[in-house]
């Protein structure tokens, strides 16, 4: 990790890379190995590895207690989780579903596969979450669901969205993939809308290698989802509905439980990482970190920068190229916006005009390597590099 002294030292111009191995946006968290082994041993001794096992039940019970909800149904991933929720709601084909374009592509993909029509709403500039006023304007007689995302784990404007759902009678689901640990008011994320869906992918704040959680207070929905998770089986030879295999294995539940046990430590480490960036990037013109609101008990898992190209002296994409060359795999989330992605572009060709805040975020956001597992010396080195680039932006921009 040799700091750059001259522009020629930048890897893009032939210098040595700052890191010999890539630094990813979120290196997976590893709980103490013996903790994971202890959970796994119980599955091993019972030779019970899948199908509603004891670890899965323990994991679900702990999540229910945390979210203060009646049901948590864990699945093999969040995409499968949302898939079975959409099926369980029996939404009419061709129905419109309002969602932000500024989110991960999985929801829009699922809607298309289910014969539903994604209708993209814009985000609020301050939160980068679905703007409730925009959602309200998009509601029509064909609207069958609203699915906003708690982007970066920042809770949506839940009160306004729940009011909209109540007034319109349109079911509200939350994509809570990023939001494990956060609260809205006094209640944990997980307890809002008809259901909330979390991702337990290896790169998430809480993970189970892969996995998903559906949290809901709706008994009938939960019963239906448990069937759909397991091919529709309600008994040995009885299949009640056309379910899929969305089950979580005991090994995955073991990882989920182990990560749950150390989650307070995970948040503390992620917070320290965030604070290290805050300190290291302070005063760099045009590079502004989005600050999590302590009132929502954020998990500090993402470090999200917004770049003002004029003030920084270089556009975001040039900066991204420079960082990649140094093995800093910072990412342009959720670039280019779901509305501009090939499968969804023909559906809303006018969307770029009607989604100005989404376009702005897609063109300015850069997510930096962060989380509990990153080495803080790496964070300091990334900050030093960003400051060097900022101080030499004019020269670099002229060469790249
Ligand atoms: C906002 C959001 N929604 C949904 C998903 C899908 O989650 P999974 O990978 O568990 O299917 C992700 C995954 O990265 C995500 O970031």
Q: Which residues contact 185 (CB under 8 A, 6 or more apart)?
A: none
Q: Catalogue all structural domains in the chain, each as residue range(s) with its CATH number.
A: 7-23+263-399 (3.90.1150.10), 33-261 (3.40.640.10)
Closest CA to 69 of 205, 297, 295, 222: 222
- pLDDT of 400 strictly over 80: no
Does the CB atom of residue 319 touch ligand 1 within 6 A? no
Atom of ligand 1 nearest to the CA of 210: 10
d(CA 89, CA 137): 23
Please tell me the predicted confidence (pLDDT) of residue 353: 82
- Tell me the three state secondary structure of residue 71: strand
For residue 258, the CA-to-ligand 1 centroid distance in Å is 21
Does the CB atom of residue 129 touch ligand 1 within 6 A? no
For residue 282, the CA-to-ligand 1 centroid distance in Å is 31
Q: What share of the chain is helix, strand, coil (3-state, %, to 5)?
A: 45, 15, 40
Atom of ligand 1 nearest to the CA of 203: 14
Please tell me the predicted confidence (pLDDT) of residue 191: 98
- pLDDT band per the 50, 70, 90 thresholds, residue 347: confident
Identify which has the larger pLDDT, 45 or 347: 45
Closest CA to 388 of 310, 308, 287: 287
User: What are 154-198's pLDDT values in tens digits?
Assistant: 999 999 999 999 999 999 999 999 999 999 999 999 999 999 999
Please tell me the predicted confidence (pLDDT) of residue 262: 98
- pLDDT band per the 50, 70, 90 thresholds, residue 397: confident
Query: 33-46 and 54-67 are packed helices; what angle lies between their axes, rounded to 10 degrees?
Result: 130
Q: Which residues contact 249 (CB under 8 A, 6 or more apart)?
A: 49, 50, 53, 76
Does the CB atom of residue 153 touch ligand 1 within 6 A? no
User: What are 293-321's pLDDT values in tens digits?
Assistant: 999 999 999 999 999 999 999 999 999 99
For residue 212, the CA-to-ligand 1 centroid distance in Å is 9
| Residues recorded for the chain | 400
d(CA 151, CA 282): 24
Does the CB atom of residue 161 touch ligand 1 within 6 A? no
Mean pLDDT score of the chain: 97
Please tell me the predicted confidence (pLDDT) of residue 398: 83
- pLDDT band per the 50, 70, 90 thresholds, residue 358: very high
75, two tokens: 């699945």
Please tell me the predicted confidence (pLDDT) of residue 396: 94
Please tell me the predicted confidence (pLDDT) of residue 51: 96
- pLDDT of 32 strictly over 90: yes
Does the CB atom of residue 78 touch ligand 1 within 6 A? yes
Please tell me the predicted confidence (pLDDT) of residue 187: 97
Name the residue of 76, 118, 201 to mutate for ligand 1: max ligand atoms within 8 A of Cβ.
Answer: 201
Pairing of strands 195-199, 143-146: unpaired
- Rounded to whole angstroms, the maximal C-alpha distance in the chain is 71
Pairing of strands 71-75, 187-188: unpaired
Name the residue of 28, 106, 147, 207 to mutate for ligand 1: max ligand atoms within 8 A of Cβ.
Answer: 106
- pLDDT band per the 50, 70, 90 thresholds, residue 206: very high
Averaged pLDDT for residues 136-156? 97
d(CA 118, CA 5): 49
Q: Which of 33-42, 117-126, 130-139, 390-399 has the lowest mean pLDDT?
A: 390-399
Please tell me the predicted confidence (pLDDT) of residue 92: 97
Q: E strand or H helix at 269, and its extent?
A: helix 263-281
Task: Decide if 123 contacts 99 (C-beta within 8 A).
Answer: no
**Exposed, middle or buried by CB within 10 Å (0-12, 13-18, 19+), for 133?**
middle
- pLDDT of 208 strictly over 90: yes
For residue 106, the CA-to-ligand 1 centroid distance in Å is 7
Pairing of strands 117-121, 96-100: parallel
Does the CB atom of residue 103 touch ligand 1 within 6 A? yes
For residue 354, the CA-to-ligand 1 centroid distance in Å is 25
User: What are 330-339's pLDDT values in tens digits?
Assistant: 999 999 999 9
User: What are 226-250's pLDDT values in tens digits?
Assistant: 999 999 999 999 999 999 999 999 9
Please tell me the predicted confidence (pLDDT) of residue 383: 98
For residue 328, the CA-to-ligand 1 centroid distance in Å is 22
For residue 75, the CA-to-ligand 1 centroid distance in Å is 13
For residue 371, the CA-to-ligand 1 centroid distance in Å is 17
């Amino acid at each position: 990790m040799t700091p750059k002294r001259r522009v020629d030292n930048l890897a893009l111009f032939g210098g040595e890379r700052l890191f010999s191995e890539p630094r990813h946006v979120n290196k997976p968290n590893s709980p103490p190995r013996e903790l994971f082994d202890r959970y796994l041993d119980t599955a091993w001794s019972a030779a019970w590895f899948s199908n509603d096992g004891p670890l899965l039940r323990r994991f679900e019970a702990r999540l229910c207690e945390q979210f203060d909800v009646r049901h948590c149904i864990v699945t093999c991933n969040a995409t499968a989780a949302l898939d079975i929720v959409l099926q369980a709601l029996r939404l009419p084909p061709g129905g419109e579903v309002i969602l932000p374009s500024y989110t991960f592509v999985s929801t829009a993909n699922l809607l298309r596969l289910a014969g539903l029509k994604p209708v993209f709403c814009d985000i609020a500039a301050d939160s980068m979450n679905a703007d409730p006023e925009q959602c309200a304007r998009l509601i029509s007689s064909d609207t069958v669901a609203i699915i906003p995302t708690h982007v970066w784990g920042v809770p949506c404007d839940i009160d306004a969205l729940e009011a909209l759902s109540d007034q319109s009678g349109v079911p509200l689901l939350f994509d809570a993939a990023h939001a494990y640990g956060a609260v809205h008011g006094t209640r944990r994320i997980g307890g809002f809308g008809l259901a909330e869906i979390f991702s337990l992918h290896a790169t998430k704040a809480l993970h189970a290698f892969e996995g998903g959680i559906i949290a809901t207070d709706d008994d009938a929905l939960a019963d239906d989802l448990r069937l759909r998770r397991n091919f529709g089986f309600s008994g040995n030879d009885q299949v009640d509905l056309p379910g899929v295999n969305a089950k979580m294995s005991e090994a995955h539940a073991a990882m989920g439980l182990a990560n749950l046990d150390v989650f307070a430590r995970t948040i503390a480490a992620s917070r320290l990482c965030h604070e290290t960036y805050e300190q290291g990037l302070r005063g760099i013109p045009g590079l502004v970190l989005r600050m999590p609101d302590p009132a929502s008990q954020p998990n500090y898992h993402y470090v999200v920068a917004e770049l003002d190209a004029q003030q920084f002296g270089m556009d975001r994409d040039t900066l991204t190229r420079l960082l990649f060359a140094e093995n800093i795999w910072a990412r342009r989330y959720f670039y280019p916006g779901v509305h501009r992605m090939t499968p969804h572009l023909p559906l809303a060709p006018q969307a770029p005009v009607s989604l100005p805040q989404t376009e702005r975020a897609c063109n300015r956001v850069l997510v930096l390597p962060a989380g509990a597992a990153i080495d803080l010396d790496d964070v300091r080195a990334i900050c030093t590099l960003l400051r060097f680039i900022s101080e030499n932006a004019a020269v670099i921009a002229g060469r790249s």
